Amino acid sequence: MTTTEQGRGAVIVTGASRGIGAAIAQKLAGDGYGVVVNYAADTAGAESVVSAIRGRGGRAIAVRADVAAPGDVADLFDRAQQEMGPLAALVNNAGTTGEQARIDEQDAGHLARLMQINVVGPMVCAKHAVQAMSTAHGGTGGSIVNIASVAAQAPPGISGFVAYEATKGAVVTFSRGLSNEVAPEGIRVNSVSPGVIDTKMTAATLGAKQAAASSPLGRVGRPDEIADTVSWLVSPAASYVTGTDITVSGGL
């Protein structure tokens, strides 16, 4: 790794102990960023991701923080900048599908928790990222990438996920609005909407055959295919791209 690569700054990836988040963290570390692997409960998974990054000569630390807890988020950003240097990017990946139930059977408390993790959490994380990166706050600019879902645009028709789909629609809308708000301050904001990706979360809600059949390409996606898209959005190669949602869904 060259000196230039080592100087790219820090990236926080929320929900990075497994699946798409882990793939993103490892990809960005390979791009030369110091990566903060955030997790809420899976300590072993987060440490495994960190070990893999360090084993390839990259820089990474694991930091536990529940994105639904504002105090945790503040501590996450403080530690990230203290240990890894100036923030260059934030990837809001942490999320949950919530309770699989029809809306008339949903518990209000479960809905509130779903919104707190999938919508409010990314907003609070973005708040701290803007404070760290905005030229209006003395920063040098940066990038925010929010992980949404193709379910926000083309709901797969699986009963019980209406509330989840709504939260991902909110993420896309938030990304577009925030991009306009902070563009003059050197921050680009985009979202990525994955289709059916081969992760434990997908396995818990869809059968393999059903998932593959839902894509015109006839297969599920891989976490690294989402990571490659995020890598490009964070990079200088996407310097004129902001306010955009990129669908990576095999044609859905």
Cα–Cα distance, 231 to 223 (Å, whole number) = 12
Amino acid, res. 16: A
Active site residue 164: yes
- pLDDT digits 0-9 by tens, 195-248: 888 877 665 555 555 656 667 888 889 999 999 999 999 999 999 999 999 999
User: E strand or H helix at 133, and its extent?
Assistant: helix 121-133
Predicted local distance difference test score (pLDDT) of residue 251: 83
What is the band of 138 on the pLDDT scale with cuts at 50, 70, 90? very high
Residue-range domains of the chain with CATH:
3-195+224-244 (3.40.50.720)
- Determine the angle formed by the axes of helices 162-182 and 108-115, rounding to 10 degrees: 30
The span from the CA of 191 to the CA of 173, in Å, is 9
Residue 54's pLDDT band, with cuts at 50, 70 and 90, is very high
Active-site residue identified among 33, 39, 164, 240: 164
Beta pairing, strands 87-92 & 142-147: parallel
Pairwise CA distance, residues 96 & 117, whole Å: 7
pLDDT attached to residue 154: 64
Is the pLDDT higher at 1 or at 193?
Answer: 193
Mean pLDDT of 143-156: 86
The DSSP code sequence of 30-70 is: HTT-EEEEEESS-HHHHHHHHHHHHHTT-EEEEEE--TT-H
